[in-house]
Chains A and B, each alone.
Chain A
């Protein structure tokens, strides 16, 4: 068996009812992995949404996933950012930490190192906003765990190719 790879795929779709269900149904129906999936409209004039999906599989499976996505009727374009060239990936998380005393200070210090911003605070809690790579978010959340991590909300990955070309 060949090695499993992780790929970030951008999919430009018609922003119409059911399109997300089609994509998700494709993954669940055919047993493909979804590590993360994000979707939002990116071109209101043409009613286009962009889906970013991070998936894992053997090269043969990854090829299948792209071909299967591409044959969905409302799909305009499928681009495998992982093989098309350099690209940037970002994820955003809101992280709630409940801590007092030293732990409270420590959480602020770590947030500072990670360039996370406190966007809500009470006497005994913070909500941090942090963006960056999935690994960076994982690391930050890992460090917050012992300090009083209460809640996490993550967007999933969005990605875009480097350079001047559009999708």
Chain B
């Protein structure tokens, strides 16, 4: 038996280091003071002091999604833990590996409504992949190692470890991580061989095939994107990418049809509607992608690669499920495809591409430029063009600007694009950008923001300053909660209830007050200079891009509509008013 010579706090820190953690995003408080004491005594772990715990979780998400590593958060009990809930839910929805260490009142006080006590495991049970309350010292090393295993294996997700103060202060023995398989949690990695054979057979019989690529490919690691790219090119089939999958397949590839879904591209959505064989790689048939389920890709046979069996047949029945890690299954598919004797019908494929080119010819992302006001689409397009070829990472907030960023910014690689997809959390982008910048200090990291979202975690401006993180906030400032305004215009008779922020801060002065550089563009001829200056500035910058106030985001599939009922631009009205079923949808 090892000697009990370490405190619980030291064990926690040792475990973090043993799992390769270099950075912890956190905020102190009474219950976690012992951990802060242990942090004080070491140099291996860097602590980033946030300004609100909600920011810490998004930072850990940005860190995790841009590196493929587990992001780590440290917060105190009670309000520290409850402030983390939004970020945990966000990480759960988008399958981001995050470990959140929460302080807890000492074990003998649990259940007594002690000061800063909250039922953290109870509150976070539905918004974590798993959580632990450590009640015995001897469990601590195992729980720490298990937390890492659970957070990063299978479908990644957030894990909470709730740490009572007496455990943190008590003495115990540390055991390092071992290779013993988990008692019960062993997600499948390789897909069933027969299913793989069936899948390639089906792929080869396709006349109108389509790859439907999701964030699972990115979660699987960069190798998965490479294999996917090889497979797509080998087949010659078109590929569409979800919001979470952007970068998993190079946007510049002629076989890339761009993003699909509610604000997806015309060609992507129509190809989805008309395809006869769909190869879903790590996507989950989210309602933002499928539109009206009853009319979703009605004529296709569906192959679905997913590491999470509960994603299969959840919304859309599939014909060939392949349960396993995207990278591994893609490797299996590549082998089987190369060994296949049957050849796809090249003539049918050529006809399919001809059809797709026709749809592409609609040029659905075209927009009317203006000489007097900056069009938001134009601003993002210029940002893209001016950062092309640079080492750049993009985060976003939530709203129209997020959709325009997804449409006009093109990603060639995975892990370059961080956005809150599943939960749609306003306030994600600034802290996420800070987390990305911590992991990539030399890179250009830009939060493409809406002015309303940006205010939701504005306190983190000073975190960036404290750690010399030169993040750039590119605010698409339309003074409106633009996405809300758009829905009110299109669905609620133009009754703009509470979607205008009548008192916004002066973002340039705000930047200066927080020791950021503040820049502003209000006219189209100022835009390029501001973008150049933003990139050239060494420190953090807010670029307040004052844009056309009432621009709408198109294409748009109105809620409850099908892919082939898309609105292409402001001059198009929906053929039928949105149905009652559509109106209740979010």
Contact = CB atoms under 8 A, between A and B. Distances in A.
Most A Cβ at <10 Å: residue of B182, B183, B308: B183
Contacts of B185: 73
Interface residues of A, number: 20
A73 B150 contact: yes
B309 interface: yes
State the main secondary structure of chain B at its contact with A. loop
A70 B309 contact: yes
Contact of A17 (B133, B155, B310): B133
A3 to B, nearest CB: 16
A75 interface: yes
B312 A73 contact: no
A29 B184 contact: no
Interface stretch (B13-21, B124-132, B267-275, B577-585): B124-132
A117 interface: no
Nearest to A77: B184
A65 to B, nearest CB: 9
Interface stretch (A18-26, A96-104, A141-149): A18-26
Interface string B142-177: 000000001000110000000000000000000000
A67 interface: yes
A11 B183 CA distance: 15
Interface string B312-325: 11100100000000
Nearest to B146: A73
Contacts of B184: 13-14, 73-76
A13 B185 CA distance: 11
Contact of A71 (B121, B131, B308, B317): B308
A63 interface: yes
Given A17-B133, A73-B184, A75-B184, A63 B313 contact: yes
Contacts, number: 45
Contacts of A14: 183-184
Given A14-B184, A73-B130, A74-B184, A67 B310 contact: yes
B181 interface: no
A33 interface: no
B309 A67 contact: yes
Given A14-B183, A71-B308, A73-B185, A60 B125 contact: no
Nearest to A17: B133
Interface in A58-94: 60, 63-64, 67-68, 70-76
A20 to B, nearest CB: 11
A67 B312 contact: yes
Contacts of A73: 129-130, 150, 182, 184-185
Contacts of A18: 121, 125, 131, 133
Given A14-B183, A17-B133, A18-B121, A71 B126 contact: no
Contacts of B155: 71
Contacts of A25: 125-126
B100 to A, nearest CB: 16
Most A Cβ at <10 Å: residue of B133, B184, B314: B184
A71 B310 contact: yes
B310 A64 contact: yes
Contacts of A68: 310
B313 A64 contact: yes
B98 to A, nearest CB: 16
A31 B129 CA distance: 19
A159 B184 CA distance: 22
B183 A76 contact: yes
Nearest to B185: A73
Given A14-B184, A73-B150, A76-B184, A21 B313 contact: no
B122 A64 contact: no
A4 to B, nearest CB: 17
A69 B182 CA distance: 17
Interface string A36-55: 00000000000000000000
Interface in A102-133: none
Contacts of A71: 154-155, 187, 308-310
3 closest pairs, A vs B, by CB?
Answer: A67-B310, A73-B130, A76-B184
11 contacts: A14-B184, A17-B135, A25-B125, A29-B126, A67-B308, A67-B310, A72-B130, A73-B129, A73-B185, A74-B184, A75-B184
Given A18-B131, A67-B310, A73-B182, 18 more contacts: A17-B133, A18-B133, A25-B125, A60-B313, A63-B313, A64-B313, A67-B308, A67-B309, A67-B312, A68-B310, A70-B310, A71-B154, A71-B187, A71-B308, A72-B130, A73-B185, A76-B183, A76-B184
Interface of A: 13-14, 17-18, 21-22, 25, 29, 60, 63-64, 67-68, 70-76
Interface of B: 121-122, 125-126, 129-131, 133, 135, 150, 154-155, 182-185, 187, 308-310, 312-314, 317
